Chains A and B, each alone.
Chain A
Amino acid sequence: MRRHTISLIVENKFGVLARIAGLFSGRGFNIDSISVGESVEPGTARMTIVTQGDEIIIEQIMKQLNRLINIIRVVDLTDDSFINRELALIKVNASAGTRPEIVQIAEIFRAKIVDISQKTLTIEATGNEDKIDAVIGMLRPFGLKEIARTGRVALSREYRGKDQPRQPAPAAPVWERERLNIAADPA
């Protein structure tokens, strides 16, 4: 069981999210997180789905997503180099006494204070999930009031520096070989 980050370009049409959610629930696949937003091309949206399963399940997920008519492209980013970020809004208890310490923690994580009241601070943190988990972990002792997390968004990495030239495209996964009709072993 591994976590996989799947990136989709979909037609921004009525009911697409329901089709995808229905596919996952109907076939018993897990969704850890899902995020949706407009993509570059008008009328399309990018979705990032984080899911888990063994190789066979992930292959089925990819293939079943590909069957949906409104899905234009499906890529499993997991084995490629990719950037991923999540945003969290964290509302934490803060008195005059604890406020400086909380601000300091936020600074260490390069998080922003976005709201303040007599009794609370709200912090906006961005980063990968580990970082968000760490911020939340550090703030927990002060008393967490509310948390909102976006779930992961991700894109594949383009430039990798001189020492790490962009690697040749990884061998297409099995599902893609079949779909794109590429021989498993181009003999």
Chain B
Amino acid sequence: MELTGAEIVAECLLREKVDLVFGLPGGVVIPLYDVLRRTPKIRHILVRHEQGAAHMADGYARATGKPGVCIVSSGPGATNTVTGIATAYMDSIPMVIFTGQVPVHLIGNDAFQEADIVGITRPITKHNYLVKEAGEIADAIAEAFYIATTGRPGPVLIDLPKDVQVMKAKFEYPERPHVRGYRPTYEGHPGQIKKAVEMIVASKRPVIYVGGGAILSGAADEVRDLAYRARAPVTTTLMGLGAFPETDSLSLKMLGMHGTWYANTAVMQCDLLIAIGARFDDRVTGKLSDFSLQSKKIHIVIDPADIGKNVQVDLPIVGDVKRVLQQLNPLITKPLGTDEWLQQIEVWKREHPLTYESTASCHEEGLDGGSDGTAPPSHIPLRAQYVIQKIGEMTHGDAIVVTDVGQHQMWAAQWYGFTKPRSMITSGGLGTMGFGLPAAIGVAFAVKDRPIVVISGDGSIQMNIQEMATAVGCRLPIKIALLNNGYLGMVRQWQDLFYGKRFSEVDLRESNPDFVKLAEAFGAVGLRVFKDEDVEEAFAEAMKVTDRPVLIDFVIGEEDNVFPMIPAGAAAHEMRES
């Protein structure tokens, strides 16, 4: 069967069971779009900026575990996806990105809208392809999906010159792509697993430290099983939130720079640290030379390059964490003597809970407006933590929370109360402001039965606000909780704490738009909340809207900081609680 290159692409997507792609056409991908137009089984979502397309594909992948797909044009269309690709790469998210390219004979000629996107994305993709013949398209796509979704997942890019899309070739789809230099390890080595069991059984003060790998591998049940068998407390990274229910008494919640006091202290004092699908990122470890010095360390991870990269471990186990835990868990049969340790942790939880000064306590202290009349009583700021807690309560912890990056992201991680995997969609590794709204759009196409709540800030939301048009156009009932403090809050916090309050270029107050009007201009619903007591009503109203996005502008305190905090490069014992 002879098909054009563009037809081959569409056929391959169907074989890969892709029914949804995000994209924006341009000159050199018109042949592909011409085919998409008559391929009704593949729905195409038209975005407003290619970065949005990449984040949408990413969000879709994070929510479903299936690869996200986007299609963009050459040159600027392709370069606009770069931040989105890097975001997915850092968090190991499976994605396939199709970029158009100028015709083969023009490559290298500085042609109109030409960019060497394969060169540009080489360090931020798991692999990439420039396809120069229509006959090579099917193999490239089959390999791309295989590579993107297996082993440690990641984005794969395919660059398709315009003439290749038009060229005809015989179509044959390889059933099992063969990639010689790529052999991920899935099973854990039995000898290593046996040793891990011995270490776990011998431990008196174990801590399980779970990262995003546990979510990617679908290992939440296995993590819980291990925690119960070993009677070991569990802390998760930002990427691991939801891999273990925070409502469980064994949960230490999040660790790291803005983790709980008790999680960081437990990691500091444990005698065994079991790292599962995690990579000892600097935001988790703080100062490496002081990190968890008393512990032996077991590291279960699929990518051997993560072993020994930051922290030397005593026992590495390379493999898919779900399979490794399935091998390991049944071998832990003896009850473990961790009672004393768990009691100690209970004491820490009581003495150093995650906390914030509520608006109500400000009232009691008489801080509601100075006697000099400079601030009206209504000026008592709304607390971001309270807003997030309320949203957690009102959605019964069942929402998919999608965040941007900054203070609001950390508050969301601390206060929402995650109980299910794939419920916290956030840019952890790259820390991409502007990720939230488009990622939530990707999620909204995959998840229809759970509320989708974007928690964003006034800085971040403006970085991809154009995708509001996409959300309105597709009638997506996304709730956007905008925690608006009029600042680039996290940078402001660092300048406040570490740069002697010398605030430099962080003030957005004068130039921020009226977010309610902005939402309305897009055709979404806009609400504004100033006071604690109005949070519930506003969110309930937002939940009633089912045919368009709702943005709630929560006007929060301008000077609130995120605590606890371990300053960058410091050790856990240097944690500041306020």
Contacts and interface: CB of A to CB of B under 8 A. Distances in A.
Contact of A175 (B123, B180, B191, B304): B304
Contact of B189 (A69, A73, A174, A182): A182
B308 A15 contact: no
B305 A71 contact: no
A56 to B, nearest CB: 7
Interface in A172-187: 174-175, 178-179, 181-184, 186-187
Interface residues of B, number: 30
A69 B126 CA distance: 8
A18 B122 contact: yes
B192 interface: yes
B316 interface: yes
A108 B123 CA distance: 48
A30 to B, nearest CB: 18
Contacts of B195: 183, 187
A87 to B, nearest CB: 29
B180 A184 contact: no
B92 to A, nearest CB: 12
Contacts of A23: 123
A138 interface: no
The residue in A14, A70, A183, A187 that gathers the most chain B C-beta atoms within 10 A of its C-beta is A183
A143 interface: no
B130 A179 contact: no
Interface in A1-48: 10-11, 14-15, 18-19, 22-23, 26
Interface string A50-94: 000000100110011011111111000000000000000000000
Nearest to A60: B309
Contacts of B191: 183, 186-187
B155 to A, nearest CB: 13
Contacts of B553: none
B265 interface: no
A67 to B, nearest CB: 6
A23 B189 CA distance: 29
A84 B465 CA distance: 59
Interface in B110-143: 118-119, 122-123, 126-127, 130
B118 A15 contact: yes
Interface string A144-187: 00000000000000000000000000000011001101111011
A128 B381 CA distance: 73
B127 A69 contact: yes
A186 B52 CA distance: 50
Contacts of B309: 60
A183 B122 contact: no
B123 A26 contact: yes
B40 interface: no
A69 B140 CA distance: 13
Nearest to B193: A183
Contacts of B123: 22-23, 26
The CB with the most chain A CB atoms within 10 A, among B118, B119, B185, B192, is that of: B192
Contacts of A66: 304-305
A14 B188 CA distance: 34
Nearest to A56: B308
A181 B308 contact: no
A186 B189 CA distance: 11
A14 B130 contact: yes
Contact of B181 (A26, A72, A175, A183): A72
B9 interface: no
A181 B303 CA distance: 12
B147 interface: yes
Contacts of A73: 181
Contacts of A183: 189, 191-192, 195
Contacts of B25: none
B122 A22 contact: yes
A64 B318 contact: no
A72 B147 CA distance: 15
A19 B122 CA distance: 7
Contacts of A72: 180-181
A72 B179 CA distance: 9
Contacts of B498: none
A181 B180 contact: no
Contacts of B119: 15, 18
A60 B305 contact: yes
8 contacts: A23-B123, A26-B123, A59-B308, A60-B308, A63-B305, A67-B303, A72-B180, A181-B189
Interface of B: 118-119, 122-123, 126-127, 130, 147, 179-182, 185, 187-189, 191-192, 194-195, 303-305, 307-309, 315-316, 318-319
Given A64-B305, A67-B303, A69-B181, 15 more contacts: A11-B181, A14-B130, A67-B305, A69-B126, A69-B182, A71-B181, A174-B308, A178-B318, A179-B318, A181-B185, A181-B187, A181-B318, A182-B189, A187-B191, A187-B194
